[in-house]
Each structure stands twice: as structure tokens, then as C-alpha cells.
Structure 1
Amino acid sequence: MKSKIIFIAIALLSTISIAQSKVGTVDSEYIISLMPETKIVSERSQNYGAKLDSSFSIKVKSYQAKVEAFKNNEKTLGELAKQADIKELTTMEDDIKKYQQNGNKLMQLKQNELMRPLYTKLSEAIATVSKANGYTQVLTITGNEFAYIDNKFDITELVLKNLGVAIPAAKE
């Protein structure tokens, strides 16, 4: 009899504790892909990429012209002139590789810069919907990250106090 009462009490307590927390999920990438602003971001990204590509193609054409000139004049050039031309071509080749790497990084930075307002808008919408529907935590489907969490469930300050670590004053 005692074990039945204990079992019922544990079941009741676990039901109460589960009822306090409501977890949801959201597919943020799907939502972003459907937002009309995404098309604008894509167009701006492509325009930026086209500008970078045009600069890159100018460098490549210049390099190819130098290579062609070197091939045509290689037999008539002296040893020192050949070495100087080879050194110049190697430098140009390295410059093209660096430009390509930097271009990829610049494209990624531009993409992030353009997408940031969309993710901010999405985050605000998730927080609004979560609060309105009583969700305490919302996980993203892709990446298993928290899209929203009710701050009253955040135990960061309690852990800091337990460790004896001073909490810095909030900056405005």
C-alpha cells in the first residue's frame, strides 16, 4: 500500500514538473527561405559577387596575357629576363589565389551582413509566438540550437553564485 502511494506521488510530481515546461521546435531555415526579403538578399549577394568576379576576371586576363607574352618571347629572352618574368608570373599567380580566397571570405561576410536583419526579425517573431503560446523553450530543427528560451529558466546566475564568481554589472 505504501509503495502505491509513493508511486502515485512520484507520478503526480513528475506530471506537475512537466506541465511547467513547454518545449517546441521551429524550422528556421525553412521560414527564412519563404520570407520575401530572402529574394532581395539573394539578388544583392549576386550583384556583389558579380562585382568581385569582374575584378577577378581582369586580374586573370592580365595574367594570361603575361603568360602568352612570356611564351612568345621565351626563346629570345636572356636568362636574367626569363627569371624576372617567371618571378613576376609567380607573384601574379599568388596574387590571384589570394584574391580568390579573399573574395570567398568577402562573399561570406556580405551574405552574413545581409541575412542578419532576417534572422533578427525571425528571432523576434519566434519570441512573440513562444510567449503568446506559453512555450518555455523552442529548439531549431536544424542545428539543435535554442531559438527561444524563457529567461526564468536560465540558471546562469545561480551557477555563478554557487561558484563564487561575481556577476558583472549590466551594460546599457
Structure 2
Amino acid sequence: MKFKITFLFITLLSTISIAQTKTGTIDSDYIINLMPEAKVVIERSQSYGSRLDSLFSIKMQDYQTRVADFREKEKEMGELMKKTLVKELTALEQDIKRYQENGNKLMQLKQDELMRPLYKKLNTAIDEIAKAEGYTLILTIAGNQFAYVDDNYDITKKVMAKLGVKEPVIKE
């Protein structure tokens, strides 16, 4: 029985020592922002945002015109007419708020849709480098607060080279 326990213990220790991991880091946001495709994404999302803004402006202009018209003719209106118009204006105001909320959501969805190919391309490059160099774990630097990261394990520049992304030159 002691032999079996000793054998299992030795086997466990050897397995643990063999199964060491190699961890690397990457600044994926830095790479994404330097990719030439990122400029196209920004232009397309701004164009989409402009279309949403123009529709919002039309709705706001209509609302403001109706409010001004109501205020101008309010003294001449009867109580029933005032209540009806106030109800319509309130409904229109709520519609504008919903449109604005939906516009923000649509804008976020559009940006996610446009960024998806860039992240897919980046992940493919990360996978290739990680497999080629034997990394078992790659952590992103952005958003995480690491106390210390050895630059020897940062694959950001390797991924940039694989994707053909050039690092900007800092002029002093």
C-alpha cells in the first residue's frame, strides 16, 4: 500500500514539473489602433453616426416647431385641445428619447460589427505566434493591472510584424 501511495505521489510530482506553462502578454488595443483597417472602421462608424444624427435632428426640429406652435396658440385653445396637444407633445418627446437610446445602441452594434474582422485577424496572428513559440497563455495588457511584466514575454511587436503593422516613429 505504501508503495502505491509513493508511486502515485512521485507520478503526480513529475507530471506537475513537466506541465509548466509559458505565459506571454500583448497590447491588443495598441495593435488594433495602428492597423490601417482601423481608419476605415472609424470613417464608416462616423458616417453611420452622421446618418443617425441627421434623422435625430429632423425629429428634434419637428418637436421644437410643434412646441413653439403650441406656445404661440395656447391662449386661444380650449382645455380639451390643450390636453390633446400636450399629450401628443409628451408622446413625441418620449419617442425622441427612445430614438436617442436606440441610436446609441445601434451605434455600438455597428462599431462592434465593423471591428469584428480586425479582432479576428489579430486573434489569428496571436494563435499562430503562440503555437509557434510554445505559449500556453497570452494575457492582454490593456484593462489589466499587472504589477510586473517582463518584456521578453510580450508578443505585441511579433504580432505587429506578422500583421504588417508598423510602429509609429516618435520624434523628439
TM-score between the two structures when normalised by the length of structure 1: 0.73
Letter in 1 for 2:73: N
CA distance in 2, matches of 1:14, 1:134: 18
- Alpha-carbon distance between aligned partners in 2 of 1:31 and 1:83, rounded to the nearest angstrom: 58
Partner of 2:151: none
Q: Which has the higher contact order (CA 8 A, sep 6+)?
A: 2
Superposed displacement of residue 21, structure 1: 1.6
Unaligned 5+ residue runs, structure 2?
1-9, 145-172
Is 1:95 aligned to 2:95, yes or no?
yes
Q: State the match for 1:46 in structure 2.
A: 46
Report the CA distance between 1:57 and its aligned residue.
0.3
Q: Is 2:94 the partner of 1:104?
A: no
2:53 and 2:113 map into 1 onto residues whose CA distance is 19
Cα deviation, 1:72-111, whole Å, max 9, x if unaligned, reads 0000001000001100100000000000000000000000
Identity %: 60
Q: Taking structure 1 as reference, are residues 69 and 16 closer, same or farther at Cα in structure 2, changes over 3 Å only?
A: same
Q: TM-score, normalised by structure 2?
A: 0.73
Give the count of matched residue pairs.
133
2-structure distance, mates of 1:45, 1:140: 25
Moved more, 126-135 or 81-90: 126-135
Superposition pairs of residues 26-105 of structure 1, within 5 angstroms: 26-105=26-105
Query: Would you identify which runs of 4 or more consecutive aligned residues in structure 1 move more than 3 Å?
Result: 12-18
